[in-house]
């Protein structure tokens, strides 16, 4: 004897194709969201104003407050990045000295509403 279920698990072909299309769309959008900031790269000449360590759960984010040559203030983050094969954020953070000039290479963009910062890839001291 067949049991009556509250809902039927029979899926039509069109419903299956919609589900597969939706899953593929979500994967593509997620991939774009992860990779998109890596296409925006900039090089800045800055003076380090201050540094801060921001901890959230098990994540550590190093924030670097800088002043650009034109006088504007800009905040960068310094975190490890698997896509960039960057695993030395602690060394970069420790090597930066306040009130010294650096050439900073960074990727990403600043979105204040989301607390998103450009991530530092390389730094080079300027004399």
24-57 residue pLDDT tens: 999 988 877 777 777 788 899 999 999 999 988 8
The per-residue pLDDT for 93 is 94
Task: Write out the chain in H/E/C secondary structure.
Answer: CCCCCCCCCCCCHHHHHHHHHHHHHHHHHHHHHHHHHHHCEEEEEEEEEEEEEEEECCEEEEEEEEEECCCCEEEEEECCECCCCECCHHHHHHHCCCCCEEEEEEECCCEHHHCECEEEEEEEECC
Q: Where do the structural domains in the chain lie, given as residue ranges?
A: 41-125
> What is the tens place of the pLDDT at every residue in 98-122?
999 999 999 988 888 888 899 999 9
**CATH architecture entry for 41-125:** Beta Barrel (2.40)
Pick 4 or 60 by higher pLDDT: 60
pLDDT attached to residue 57: 84
What's the whole-number mean pLDDT along residues 2-16?
65
């Amino acid at each position: 004897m067949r049991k009556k279920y509250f809902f039927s698990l029979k899926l039509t072909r069109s419903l299956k194709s919609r589900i597969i299309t939706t899953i593929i769309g979500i994967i593509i959008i997620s991939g774009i969201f992860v990779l998109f900031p890596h296409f925006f790269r900039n090089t800045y000449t800055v003076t380090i104003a201050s540094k801060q360590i921001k901890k959230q759960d098990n994540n550590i984010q190093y924030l670097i407050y800088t002043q650009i040559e034109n006088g504007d203030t800009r905040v960068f983050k310094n975190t490890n990045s698997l896509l960039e094969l960057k695993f030395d954020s602690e060394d970069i953070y420790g090597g930066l000295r306040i009130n010294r000039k650096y050439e900073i290479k960074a990727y990403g963009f600043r979105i204040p509403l989301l607390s998103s910062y450009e991530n530092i890839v390389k730094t080079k001291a300027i004399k």
